[in-house]
């Protein structure tokens, strides 16, 4: 009996282009984090003093009525969490071969990252 080959447009492809999106997301989040880090470094360098009030002002300054410091910090932290999720998930997919173990590790990673984002938001937005 001859087996039927799937060639050309009749080929069954599952999961195509998932890697492209993750690649682009990791690059975009890395750019966001790099820009935010550069802004923080410049703010620290040009700050006359590094006491508690000036440090707090880095995260709570407003532009007109918009809490820009908090929004930028939140964007940077969400980028960090998304960047970490893609990287750690890929590690689990590459090295944790049993499906149950991989699922458990991915769930624990997701819970840890969601908990970190909630904890971050609670601290930052209570300032």
pTM confidence score: 0.82
For 29-51, how does the pLDDT look when each residue is reduced to its tens digit (9 = 90+)?
A: 999 999 999 999 998 898 888 88
pLDDT band at 7 (very low <50, low <70, confident <90, very high): low
Band the pLDDT of 4: cuts 50, 70, 90: low
DSSP 7: -
Contacts by residues 64-72 (CB-CB < 8 Å, ≥ 24 positions apart): 70/124, 70/125, 70/127, 72/36, 72/39
| Mean pLDDT (whole number) for 82-88 | 97
**Domains located in the chain, CATH noted:** 20-126 (1.20.1300.10)
Q: Of all residues in the chain, what percent carry a pLDDT higher than 90?
A: 69
Is 95 known to sit in a ligand binding site?
yes
Q: Render pLDDT for 61-72 as a digit per residue (tens, 0 to 9).
A: 999 999 999 999
**Residues near 25 by beta carbon (within 8 Å), at least 6 away in sequence:** 82, 83, 86
């Amino acid at each position: 009996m001859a087996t039927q080959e799937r060639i050309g447009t009749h080929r069954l492809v599952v999961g195509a282009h998932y890697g492209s999106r993750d690649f682009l997301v990791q690059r975009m989040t890395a750019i966001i984090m790099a820009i935010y880090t550069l802004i923080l470094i410049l703010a620290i360098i040009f700050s006359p003093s590094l006491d508690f009030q000036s440090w707090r002002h880095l995260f709570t300054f407003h532009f007109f009525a918009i809490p820009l410091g908090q929004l930028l910090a939140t964007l940077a932290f969400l980028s960090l969490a998304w960047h970490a999720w893609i990287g750690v998930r890929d590690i689990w997919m590459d090295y944790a071969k049993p499906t149950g173990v991989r699922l458990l590790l991915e769930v624990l990673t997701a819970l840890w990252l969601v908990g970190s984002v909630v904890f971050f938001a609670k601290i930052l937005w209570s300032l």
